[in-house]
Chain A
């Protein structure tokens, strides 16, 4: 069994190495025809840029995306600088340089990978999936009988912030930086998912399609791991199935199929303010222009945030979203599960968490308020602040850096819910409802707690669960996403997630059940 696992690990690493090295392969060449069609497509009016490209890049072969992209971007920068100096505003190309370069690069690529998309899919995704499953599935036997088997987690370099963890951290952060800020470097990755993309939406794959597809693959493989690890725990099995379903169907398939029918890309479960650009003017315009479905999406999005989310949180706690539906939560609960013990449990980090997460919520609301004001009034901004620049700052700081680079990249260092805990504005909103108006709580079972600390250690949200359990107090915390692992790892059956009457839900105690009844009354009723 150990051999199968080691071979699996080897195959996985080969797949990963091939995947990584694809960035450096392939050739890039812009033919005159390609460039002409690009110019007319993008409606480029800058003759400076056109001439620059024609004389320096067209018909020249590049062997890596970096030098190719760098030349395109410098041509763009030079042209724009001149146009701006001369106030030739209609000639300026406003696209973000890397996104602009991506569009050319995606078409300009040639060679091995573009010609063998299927083969390279198998060499990367195929080997990765196969290897990972060979590593994971023997756990049915190697972990021993079903039950909590966290043996050796703190001795393992991958899960105790050891060198493997740091390596994974660098890899993930690098991946997200490329994905968000330099998509033109990773066109080769997008080629290998082109065939699938074309089959679903009819379009070739963008970097976001690639990301969505990878997301589904990673979640599926790591869900298999969850099914094995928690095969004795039906709550975990159902929850894992649920997040997997919502990711694949709602976040991936439905939006792509909508695109196929020339409808706007929309993830029906992605609620504002997590879906922070829902009220951006381009989205509202697109929805309004898309007829009945667009209007339905517009109303659905508003009802989801204002009615469905709080009502569901009232009945079930925010877990209904965070650990049963949400895509970010879904990745955290599958790919992130091996890292849950790394979240910081100190009081300091709780304080930081409250400032940050509510800060992001306020930021999102102010930004949206300004956006809507601008949209309805037709103004460009308020009090001299351009809505566009606030949106850009939010998109960069929160949407890309916080949610992506830090949110997932930091899994191996700060645990798997960094974004959900410190950054997600939707989580902040639901947290307020959960804390003050909800039936959800984690019940503490009388006086059974032995303060062992498994619950706190494995809480991905960094809640010091034990601090409550050892006082016989129910856990009613805004940040709890109801993953149920504290209850699973408790060796004494102390914790149970439940939805019950609000009365008695918050029950601060000093003396626990089991002691003198009169003493309990005396102390607890003070």
Chain B
């Protein structure tokens, strides 16, 4: 029986294992050094905030693995020997494989800051980071102030986490507005306000110079590059992005760059070795996606795809249209298609913001053909099905606006803003788009 070994028990590896099991009787082993069982990394924040217990982040009950004949092995893989198809573990164990899937995810970036390895400095990625945080920032007596370095999705989540325990937070953001490499100005400004409204001391356009220690080798303060200001703190969160967690294969024959290099079939340069999820790097980005995508659902999709290939149905990884979501404090964010921070030459934009300043939508479309390119939506939920169809069928922005009522996914009885949005668009663009009433028939054609 062919033995499939998967390194990494995150969403990518586990999805691959589940689908291989559905398709075949192969022997499957998942290896992890982090936890015994698969858990949802994105939910770690809720454990610290007391919304959930760690067990709740585990999507499958513990009997699931045995029942589905998926072996779990806890251990840290030190090296991969490709010729003899052997994994060597830190404790001296070895494991033979016929096919290997590398799904080891990411690790937080550290840019060589002085003091970056002190006690009390942590990323917010692994289960161990959560344990660290529980140790160094259990409450606002032990941790009188925390500093977060790096303004991305994990940074704002960490800010929200610490804030939930009433720990004062200083948030150092290199950019001059939050996440403005990804978000256009309006949205970025909205998030800045949301951060301030929650009493978080956000500092825009500043960098970390160094982290200083106390006599015990624990964080004592940080220094800001631009102002030389020293900020006393007990915890430093490093959230300046993540990069592939692949140090253990750097010395093997497997080709790596930032990540493990894979072709469209998620195959590495070595036969029978595959890489998926955050740690995989495409030779070229697909459909304007980045070559490395550290996103929950892309990991899952690669797992779905590689399972087919491994089970004798070799298919290429072909992600559909881009989408994503996040939550910034109390403001939910969804995006479908592309809305770049800066418009490209052929693009026209339409921005609507609700008077509360907590909701907006931002449309991106082609100036000439009026083809819909993407939408950002803040504080308003939208139907994935709807926009995926609009993108698949190359519909126009006018079509999307006409059918905005079909697209809305807010809970029942929520105040809807479609009329206002369409009216504003008509006024700005001198068009006469008529909003259509919500139609179940149309909504169900889309799926």
Contacts and interface: CB of A to CB of B under 8 A. Distances in A.
Interface of A: 144-148, 150-156, 232-235, 238, 346-347, 443, 445-448, 450-454, 456-457, 466-467, 470, 484, 487-489, 491-493, 496-498, 500-501, 503-504, 507, 510-519, 523
Interface stretch (B244-252, B266-274, B322-330, B394-402): B322-330
A88 B392 CA distance: 87
Contacts of A347: 61
A152 B332 contact: no
A515 B334 contact: no
A513 B52 contact: no
Interface of B: 11, 19, 22, 40, 42-43, 46, 49-53, 56-59, 61, 164-165, 197-198, 296-297, 300-301, 304-305, 308, 315-321, 323, 325-327, 329-330, 332, 334, 381-385, 388, 392, 409-415, 440-441, 443-444, 447
A496 B381 CA distance: 10
B411 A500 contact: no
A516 B315 contact: yes
B388 A446 contact: yes
B320 A516 contact: yes
A191 to B, nearest CB: 42
Contacts of A233: 411
Contacts of B330: 145-148, 232
A514 B440 contact: no
A492 B319 contact: no
A302 to B, nearest CB: 31
17 contacts: A145-B197, A150-B46, A151-B49, A151-B50, A234-B414, A447-B297, A451-B59, A453-B43, A453-B57, A484-B411, A493-B382, A496-B409, A498-B412, A503-B444, A514-B320, A517-B392, A518-B318
B305 A452 contact: no
Contacts of B42: 450-452
Contacts of A446: 323, 383-385, 388
Contacts of A514: 297, 301, 319-321, 323, 384, 388
Contact of A234 (B165, B318, B415): B415
Contacts of B334: 448, 492-493
Nearest to A470: B59
Q: Which 3 A-B pairs have the closest CB atoms?
A: A446-B384, A147-B330, A493-B381
A491 B308 contact: no
B59 A454 contact: no
Given A150-B49, A500-B444, A516-B320, A450 B197 contact: no
B384 A488 contact: no
Given A456-B56, A510-B22, A152 B50 contact: yes
Nearest to B385: A446
A301 to B, nearest CB: 30
A447 B297 CA distance: 7
B315 A519 contact: yes
Given A154-B50, A234-B411, A450 B385 contact: no
A58 B2 CA distance: 89
Nearest to B160: A151
A453 B59 contact: yes
Given A454-B43, A519-B304, A500 B57 contact: no
A512 B297 contact: yes
B381 A445 contact: yes
Contacts of B304: 510-511, 515, 519, 523
Contacts of A447: 297, 300-301, 323, 384
Nearest to B380: A493
A233 B414 CA distance: 7
A147 to B, nearest CB: 3
A491 B327 contact: yes
A497 B305 contact: no
B211 to A, nearest CB: 28
A493 B325 contact: yes
B332 A492 contact: yes
A501 B165 CA distance: 45
A155 B51 CA distance: 9
A144 B164 CA distance: 10
Contacts of B198: 144-145
Contacts of A518: 318
A153 B320 contact: no
Nearest to B14: A451
Given A446-B384, A453-B43, A487-B411, A147 B296 contact: no
Given A452-B46, A500-B440, A504-B447, A519 B318 contact: yes
Q: Which of A489, A501, A513 has the most chain B CB atoms closer than 10 A to its own CB?
A: A513
A387 B444 CA distance: 51
A492 B56 contact: no
A155 B334 CA distance: 31
Nearest to A448: B325
A451 B321 CA distance: 21
Contact of B51 (A150, A451, A511): A150
A470 B19 CA distance: 14
Contacts of A466: 59
Nearest to B444: A504
B334 to A, nearest CB: 6
Given A155-B50, A510-B22, A496 B411 contact: yes
A497 B413 CA distance: 11
A151 B392 CA distance: 40
